[in-house]
Amino acid sequence: MKKLHHFFLFLINSNIFVSFCVLSLAISSEFLVVKSRILFPSEVSLFVFFATIFTYNFQRIVRISKSQKHNRKDWTQKNKILIYLVIIISSVISLYFFSKFKTNTQIAIIFSGIISVLYPFGLRTIPFSKIFVISLIWTTSTMLLFILEEGIVFSSNVIAHLLIRFLFVFAICIPFDIRDVKYDNIKLKTIPILFGISRSKLISFICLLFAIIISTFQYWNNKLSIGFFVAISLSCIVSSIFIKKSNEKKSDFFFSFWVESLSILLYLFLVISITLF
């Protein structure tokens, strides 16, 4: 049991677990946008997985090297060689996939990459930028890149999917800002620092409610199957439960595993809906 716990800590601390969460959202987009049963992730989704590993570990190394507070600083310093190895391997694989994409997809990746690189170098200090940057990057990575690479037309339905994804990610990111209240400088002006924890949770609930409302309109207009509608709605409802339980006293494992797993839960609900409906 102890070995299993250490294994999970490794996955979390090395950002491999969060990368699987991003991969789950990316594959979910393949379900939602092309409405087919995905037997194997697309090259875009695989790129997103490895690029996430690279980006998250790179940002952490930069923050720690600048002596900024980080809840995994001690683990990272003890495993620096391993982290650098993970960064090198993930960057090489990411570049391999990047070279195979269409120009529009590459431009979107470069744009997202610039924002990701600038984030720990000052962009993070801009008020409210933290959660908007993360939500924008995750929406781009987990859905927009696939849309661009597949040449899918930007219809109202596609825009609705992008908006739902942004709202969902925005909502489940707020608990992490709640967790980081004790680490973030008050000058960052994150949502919990400015509005307080209770109102921050309310903002999350409103985002999830709007996501359900938009998916309801999609279902009414025959743009979303009953199975996918139920999957999205259930994901939002379960997410709201975890958001409600979030507070700065919860362990890092609660956020880094359970809250992060909400992305995987959406994927699982979609898979189940395909099987049942």
Q: What is the pLDDT of residue 3?
A: 67
pLDDT band at 12 (very low <50, low <70, confident <90, very high): confident
Over residues 48-91, the pLDDT tens digits come to 999 999 998 988 887 776 665 555 677 877 888 889 999 999 99
Neighbours of 273 (CB within 10 A): 19
pLDDT band at 39 (very low <50, low <70, confident <90, very high): low
pLDDT band at 20 (very low <50, low <70, confident <90, very high): very high
HEC per residue, 197-220 = HHHHHHHHHHHHHHHHHHHHHHHH
Enter the tokens of residue 42: 């697309």
Closest CA to 175 of 250, 83, 105, 118: 250
Helix (H, G, I), strand (E, B) or coil at 71: coil
Query: What residue segments make up the domains of the chain, in order of their start?
Result: 1-26+39-126, 153-277
Q: What is the pLDDT of residue 117?
A: 74
pTM comes to: 0.91
Measure the CA–CA gap between 27 and 40, rounded to whole angstroms. 9
Neighbours of 228 (CB within 10 A): 22
For the purposes of burial, counting CB atoms within 10 Å of the CB of 52, is it exposed (0-12), middle (13-18) or buried (19 or more)? buried
Over residues 89-135, the pLDDT tens digits come to 999 999 999 999 999 999 999 999 888 777 766 666 676 777 888 89
Measure the CA–CA gap between 159 and 139, rounded to whole angstroms. 11
